[in-house]
Amino acid sequence: MNIKEEEKREGFHVVDALLKHSPEIIKKIFIPDSRNDERLSSLVSAAESLSIDVEVNKKIKQRPIAKITPQPTLGNKDLKEFIESSATENPTVFIVDNIIDPRNLGACIRSAVAANVDAIIINKHQCSPITSTVRKVSCGGTEVGSIFMVSNLINVIKFLKDQGIEIIGTSEHSEDIYTSMDFNTPLALIVGSEETGIRQKTLDACNHVVNLSDSELINSLNVSVASGVVLFEIKKHKSGL
In a shared domain, residues 176 and 91:
yes
Mean pLDDT of 50-63: 92
- pLDDT of 36 strictly over 90: no
Number of domains making up the chain: 2
Q: Collapsing DSSP states into helix, strand and coil, what is residue 198?
A: coil
In a shared domain, residues 10 and 83:
no
Residue bearing the bigger pLDDT, 240 or 118: 118
In a shared domain, residues 32 and 83:
no
Residue 186: HSE in the Cβ half-sphere, 13 Å Cα cutoff: 14
In a shared domain, residues 83 and 123:
yes
In a shared domain, residues 121 and 170:
yes
User: How many angstroms separate the CA atoms of 147 and 218, rounded?
Assistant: 32
In a shared domain, residues 22 and 107:
no
Mean pLDDT of 173-178: 87
Which pLDDT score is estimated for 61? 83
CATH of the domain at 145: 3.40.1280.10
In a shared domain, residues 38 and 122:
no
List of residues 6+ apart from 117 with CB closer than 8 A: 92, 93, 94, 145, 231
In a shared domain, residues 55 and 38:
yes
- pLDDT of 225 strictly over 70: yes
Q: Which domain holds residue 46?
A: 5-68
Report pTM: 0.90
Q: In which band, very low, low, confident or very high, does the pLDDT at 117 lie, cut at 50, 70 and 90?
A: very high
Three-state SS sequence of 138-174: CCCHHHHCCEEEECCHHHHHHHHHHCCCEEEEECCCC
Q: In which band, very low, low, confident or very high, does the pLDDT at 175 lie, cut at 50, 70 and 90?
A: confident
In a shared domain, residues 140 and 42:
no
Note the Cα 49 to chain centre separation in Å: 28
Mean pLDDT of 37-65: 93
Mean pLDDT of 86-112: 93
Average pLDDT across the chain, whole number: 91
Which pLDDT score is estimated for 226? 85
Which pLDDT score is estimated for 213? 63
CATH of the domain at 18: 3.30.1330.30
pLDDT tens-digit series, residues 7-22:
999 999 999 999 999 9
Which of 25, 48, 68 is the last residue before a domain boundary? 68
Which of 43, 68, 93 is the last residue before a domain boundary? 68
In a shared domain, residues 34 and 138:
no
Which of 51, 68, 85 is the last residue before a domain boundary? 68
Mean pLDDT of 154-179: 92
In a shared domain, residues 86 and 63:
no
- pLDDT of 217 strictly over 60: no
In a shared domain, residues 88 and 64:
no
Which pLDDT score is estimated for 240? 73
Q: What percent of the chain has pLDDT over 90?
A: 71
Mean pLDDT of 49-60: 93
From 7, 10, 17, 5, select the one nearest 57 (Cα to Cα). Answer: 10
- pLDDT of 219 strictly over 60: no
